[in-house]
Amino acid sequence: MSTARFSLRLRVYHEDTDAGGIVYYANYLRFMERARTEWLRTLAAAQRQPTVSEGTMFVVREAHLQYLSPARLDDELEIDAVPTEVRRASLRIAQTVTRVGDSRPLVLGQIRLAVVDRVSARPAPLASWLHETLAPLAVEPR
């Protein structure tokens, strides 16, 4: 992968909105999760490796979101993910939600993922291939 930024496009459906046709605030976390999942799936496919080493999984340790402007029913959104910090057992990922065709962000997010053992839920190391892939891509947070 030659670029740090991954983007996923999706459409806003009725199920994503409140009665006023505005995206319900918690759904932005779902959108960001989808983008991260697809991004990591792309990396794993390129490496022919599982996303996280066997016996471990990612968990969200922190999530900080700034809601700047609402998305509405039928909007096409672009959700970006870019690593800003890669540590031995965690990643920090900056995520931005924008409306396709408009560069102004709707939501800004900083998500920290921890790697944990599936059984004990104790910290575990990030798979070496994934650390080696992501570490050079990490950029300064905005």
1 in a domain, yes or no?
A: no
pTM: 0.88
108 in a domain, yes or no?
A: yes
54 in a domain, yes or no?
A: yes
28 in a domain, yes or no?
A: yes
53 in a domain, yes or no?
A: yes
**pLDDT number for residue 63:** 98
Domains: count for the chain: 1
**pLDDT number for residue 42:** 87
How far is residue 8's CA from residue 19's CA, in Å, rounded to a whole number?
Answer: 26
31 in a domain, yes or no?
A: yes
Integer CA distances (angstroms), 68 to 26, 35, 105, 106, in order? 14, 19, 7, 5
Known catalytic residues? 18
Residues with Cβ within 8 Å of 19's Cβ and at least 6 positions away in sequence, in order, are none
142 in a domain, yes or no?
A: no
**pLDDT number for residue 1:** 43
CA neighbor of 123 nearest in space, from 56, 60, 62: 56
* Edge-to-edge strand list for the sheet holding 6-11: 6-11, 76-86, 90-99, 105-117, 56-67
Domain interval for residue 115:
6-137
Ranges in the chain, pLDDT < 70: 1-3, 45-53, 141-142
**pLDDT number for residue 2:** 47
**pLDDT number for residue 89:** 94
**pLDDT number for residue 49:** 54
How far is residue 136's CA from residue 77's CA, in Å, rounded to a whole number?
Answer: 27
**pLDDT number for residue 3:** 61
Phi/psi of residue 56, nearest 5 degrees: -125, 165
Query: Per-residue pLDDT tens for 10-49?
Result: 999 999 999 999 999 999 999 999 999 999 888 876 655 5
11 in a domain, yes or no?
A: yes
**In CATH, what number is assigned to the domain containing residue 96?**
3.10.129.10
